[in-house]
């Protein structure tokens, strides 16, 4: 971890992997049960456990007052009709927000609250997306052959609740049935107990 103030590059020349402390890679095998077309998932996985997305983190203490930040890269591709995407999560401390700044590419952020509201916002280079407290979030790359690259920042004490999305899914999915991205109800969405 760096001592005192520090800076790093995001502008001209893009981000520099060496400037980050942590590199997380998520592959097809890490997304079991998340894609709608489970047969397409199995077929693809049997061919290769491909890299779906990566996160480069600047290490900071995970405490209130700190800001955790880094870069997320969602690679292009599809599983069946569904675009490559992140797992998605609620923050464990629900009342914590997040900021995303898209550096490169085009995508969607799919979001929902425990109360049942949902939203899909466009991610486009040069635009900032604000994810308010309480909103689960998943980023999706809508492009054919380019990475979706974003800078993110969120409170140090937020924590990640992946379990809720793993068991119930998101209410909305983004599919390409041949005419580009379509937001559809998730037929496998399963409300959690008491939800
Ligand atoms: C981001 C995400 C990142 C990867 O840093 O962690 O985009 O997505 P998953 O964590 O859902 O796999 C963030 O939202 N942090 O809170
Ligand atoms: Zn988050």
Give the C-alpha distances (Å, rounded to integers) separating 61 from 57, 155, 170, 171: 12, 10, 30, 33
User: What pLDDT shows up at residue 48?
Assistant: 98
Q: What is the mean pLDDT of residues 128-141?
A: 98
How deeply is 111 buried, as exposed, middle or buried, from its count of CB atoms within 10 A (0-12, 13-18, 19+)? buried
Q: With a 6 A CB cut-off, is 156 part of the ligand 1 pocket?
A: no
> Quick check: 85 pLDDT over 80?
yes
User: What pLDDT shows up at residue 194?
Assistant: 56
- Percent of the chain at pLDDT > 70 equals 98
**DSSP string for residues in 141-190:** E--SS--EEEEEEEETT--EE-HHHHHH--SEEEEESSSSEEEEE-TT--
Per-residue pLDDT tens over the stretch 167-191: 999 999 999 999 999 999 999 998 8
User: What pLDDT shows up at residue 13?
Assistant: 85
Q: With a 6 A CB cut-off, is 105 part of the ligand 1 pocket?
A: no
CA angle, corner 84, sides to 123 and 99, nearest 5? 35
> Quick check: 110 pLDDT over 80?
yes
Nearest CA-CA partner of 87 in 40, 41, 33, 149: 33
> What tokens appear for 41 in the block?
């998932």
Q: With a 6 A CB cut-off, is 165 part of the ligand 1 pocket?
A: no
Ligand approaching nearest to the C-alpha of 74: 1
As a whole number of angstroms, the distance between CA 1 and CA 59 comes to 6
Q: HSE of 60 in the Cβ direction (CA atoms, 13 Å)?
A: 22
> What tokens appear for 99 in the block?
């900021």
Domains for the chain: give ranges and CATH numbers.
20-185 (2.60.120.10)
> What tokens appear for 1 in the block?
């971890």
As a whole number of angstroms, the distance between CA 139 and CA 156 comes to 20
User: For a substitution probing ligand 1, which of 89, 133, 138, 161 has the most ligand atoms within 8 Å of its CB?
Assistant: 89
């Amino acid at each position: 971890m760096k001592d005192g103030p520090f800076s790093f590059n995001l502008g001209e020349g893009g981000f520099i992997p060496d400037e980050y402390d942590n590199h997380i890679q998520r592959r097809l095998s890490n997304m079991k049960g998340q894609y709608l077309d489970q047969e397409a998932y199995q077929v693809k996985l049997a061919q290769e456990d491909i890299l779906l997305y990566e996160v480069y983190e600047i290490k900071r203490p995970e405490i209130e007052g700190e800001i955790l930040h880094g870069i997320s890269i969602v690679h292009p591709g599809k599983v069946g009709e569904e675009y490559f995407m992140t797992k998605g999560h609620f923050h464990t401390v629900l009342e914590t927000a997040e900021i995303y700044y898209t550096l490169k590419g085009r995508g969607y952020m799919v979001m929902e609250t425990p109360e049942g509201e949902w939203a899909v916002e466009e991610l486009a280079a040069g635009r900032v997306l604000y994810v308010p407290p309480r909103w689960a979030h998943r980023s999706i790359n809508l492009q054919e052959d380019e990475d979706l690259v974003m800078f993110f920042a969120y409170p140090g004490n937020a924590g990640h609740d992946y379990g809720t999305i793993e068991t119930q899914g998101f209410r909305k999915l983004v599919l390409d049935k041949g005419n580009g991205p379509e937001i559809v109800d998730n037929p496998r969405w399963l409300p959690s107990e008491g939800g």
